[in-house]
Amino acid sequence: MPLLAQLMNILIISFEEYPLIEALLSQPKKIVDFLAYLHQFFQMVKQVSSKRFTLAEVKQACDFI
């Protein structure tokens, strides 16, 4: 699976997951922890690939087209 498709699978939040994330982000300490996790995740992605994607590529990976 291409890197962009893998990232989209991780970054797109399903409707079922939304209440869990909403609860997670309801407290400032949890927001800080979540943002630290996201920062760590994006740093890992940058190490894997520094390729930039066009909007068309992102839409295609998300099956919007």
What are the backbone angles phi and psi of residue 43, rounded to the nearest 5°? -65, -40
Tell the residue number behind the tokens 């930039």, with chain if given: 52
Q: Say whether pTM exceeds 0.75.
A: no
pLDDT tens for 3-61 read 666 666 666 667 787 787 788 778 888 888 888 888 888 888 788 777 788 888 888 87
Tell the residue number behind the tokens 């939304």, with chain if given: 18
Distance of alpha carbon 32 from the chain centroid: 16
Query: Could you tell me the two tokens for 47?
Result: 């190490």
